[in-house]
Structure 1
Amino acid sequence: MAMALAAAFGLASGSSQALAQPKELVIFAAASLKNALDEAAAGWARETGKPAPKMSYAASSALAKQLEAGAPADLFLSADLDWMDHAAGKGLIRPDTRVTLLANRIALIAPSDSTATIAKGPGLDLAAVVGQGRLAMANVDSVPAGKYGKAALEKLGAWDGVKDKLAQADNVRAALLLVSRGEAPLGIVYTTDAAADPKVKVLATFPPDSHPPILYPVAVTRDSTHPDAVAFLAYLRGAGPKAAFEKQGFTVLNKAANAT
């Protein structure tokens, strides 16, 4: 009887300890951040001895809508200000934690063995280069990379020629994959995405004034109760992740939303 009670007590005690363990830290992040954030998460685990955060990568639009639908996450990293503003407008983030962390650029890419060339400047004629193929882009109505790309093409006078020749993807990494696999002769992605895939090459980088600034805000979510949420955000603003971001080609801004 004593052994049975001891075993039962031990089981109950173990269950209580399991329940007392904090849930995993969940990060919702734009797909273009994958390489850099995976490295940052691994660095966090090494330096703190804690489990690496669980990363959920997708288009910023999809992640914001998931948050709105009640999906649990502790941090949200968006690839544009609009979707972070959307989350803020719905009361889904803690405004006092919001930081504009990074900046990026967009580029026109082709498979690494492509012989295509592009004449830069206004009047850009992509339709002739695309030919019977498709221009791979993230969704131009909702995904930040697609929206930036469309704005640049409109500014450069190339949109009308290619708007009916698009292969629109759910996120920028999916658009990158279409070009990497040779399924599309051209694509528009972030320069950081192009740098992460040796099977593509950059034909041209779009002028910064051809599209809205490409900025990546981050904030702790309203419903996060994880004790490490604020600490991980602070870590992302530190030296280790800064090196990881810069290695991937991001510009580190690290500017609080209320900074002047």
Structure 2
Amino acid sequence: MHALILGIGFGIVTAAVLAISTVALSLQFSVTNFPNFSHGEFMTIGAYSSYSAYQATHSAIVACVVAMAVGAILGVGVNMLLLAPFGRKNTASLTLFVVTIGLSLILQNAVLWRYGGSSLRLQIEPGLPHHILGFELTTAQLIIIGGAVLSMAGVHVLLKYTVFGRAQRAVAESPMLAEASGIKSGRVINLTWLLTGALTGLAGFVLALTTGSLTPVMGFSFLLVVFASAILGGIGHPYGSMAGAVAVGLAMEVSATYIPSDYKTVVAFVILIAVLLVRPQGLVPSKRLAAA
């Protein structure tokens, strides 16, 4: 029983990291209609940026802010310099998906060239363990959970109660109708990439904080789990993505109490395959995906 409770505790932490990254991926998909396969490398660059910032300042707060800032700049830059020009030519979504695969390899090798292939350690102390409702969580893990909750609440407020949120939802529903209504879809897409880039950089930082080590393929390895969460929740739907992240995170960590932990990622793919067979549109399908 104690092992099960520990597994649930770890699952909540994993779900928190997953939720930040998965919501970012779904928001990006909602306005572009293609998944960014270099999303994992955005996380990797965010993690390494936080590592460099922490080495220079020894401040976890500065490391977090730098990771988010670098992720935001990378997101906008990639969209403006690479993806938007393809979009203006009405390039097929599949082609754009392949472009992001190439970008993934470029970014991965750029990190490898800059930092080398050896594992690096983000030496931020996790803090003392705290016993809360039967769970044993460190200070760092509590901060990660709290940060994820605040991030998700911030996304909800932004999408529900702001002018940008209404414009973003309009573009996600139909870019052509949004343009006809006077909404500048290009600007909305750029701002969405800014937001999702910042969230992805944050996800990279908390992933590094959770694992304690950084490698050039850390984001790519985590990406497949992010896709599983996004598809389970309904890719393109941020609220469904939150639910998918919680389900996958808990399933992975709880299963690790009964099977070797090396195989817990397999659980995410079993869930993914089952969902694709039974309900391919996900728990909360987006209207654009359902129409497609």
- TM-score, with length taken from structure 2: 0.23
Greater strand share, 1 or 2?
A: 1
- TM-score, with length taken from structure 1: 0.25
Structure number with greater CO (CA < 8 Å, separation at least 6) is: 2
Give the structure with higher Rg (CA).
1
Greater helix share, 1 or 2?
A: 2
